[in-house]
Amino acid sequence: MIKHKNQRVGVFIDVQNMYYSAKALYGRKVDFGEILKTAVADRQLIRAIAYVVRATGEEDPFFEALNQRGIETKERELQEFHGGTKKADWDVGITVDAVRIGEILDVVVLVSGDGDFVELVEYLKHHGRQVEVIAFRKSASSRLIDACDDFIDLSADIDRYTIKGYIKPSTNFEDEMIGNSITERETEIEETASGDSFWIKPVEKRTVRRNQSSSTTSKKMKH
- DSSP characters for 12-26? EEEHHHHHHHHHHHH
Domain that holds residue 14: 8-216
CB 19 within 8 A of CB 73: no
The set of long-range contacts for 171-177, using a CB threshold of 8 Å and a minimum separation of 24, is 173/24, 173/25, 176/20, 176/23, 176/24, 177/20, 177/21, 177/24, 177/139
* pLDDT for position 88: 64
Give the chain's count of helices (H) and strands (E).
Answer: 9, 14
Q: Average pLDDT of 45-69?
A: 85
Give the residue-averaged pLDDT of 179-189. Answer: 33
Decide if 203 is inside a domain.
Answer: yes
Quote the percentage of the chain above a pLDDT of 70.
67
Is 1's pLDDT higher than 70? yes
Average pLDDT of the segment spanning 61-80: 85
Tell me the average pLDDT across 144-172: 83
CATH code for position 63: 3.40.50.1010
* 8 contacts: CB under 8 Å, gap ≥ 6: 43, 44, 46, 104, 105, 106, 107
| pLDDT value, residue 109 | 98
Q: Which tens digit of pLDDT belongs to each residue from 95-117?
A: 999 999 999 999 999 999 999 99
222: pLDDT strictly greater than 50: no
Q: Which residue has the higher pLDDT, 130 or 212?
A: 130
Q: Maximum Cα–Cα distance for the chain, whole Å? A: 54
Residue 2 lies inside a defined structural domain of this protein? no
> What total number of domains does the chain contain?
1
Please list the alpha-helical segments (H only) found in the chain.
15-26, 32-40, 60-68, 91-101, 118-126, 142-147, 158-161, 173-176, 195-199
More confidently predicted of 165 and 195:
165
What is the pLDDT, as a whole number, of residue 84? 60
* 1 occurs within a structural domain: no
d(C-alpha 37, C-alpha 35), whole Å: 5
- Whole-model pTM: value is 0.73
CA-based nearest residue to 161, from 25, 11, 22? 22
> How many Å apart are CA 7 and CA 28, to the nearest integer?
32
Note whether residue 223 is domain-resident.
no
Q: How confident is the model at residue 17 (pLDDT cuts 50, 70, 90)?
A: very high
More confident: 39 or 210:
39
Residue 222 lies in a domain: no
- 149 within some domain: yes
User: Does residue 20 lie in a domain region?
Assistant: yes
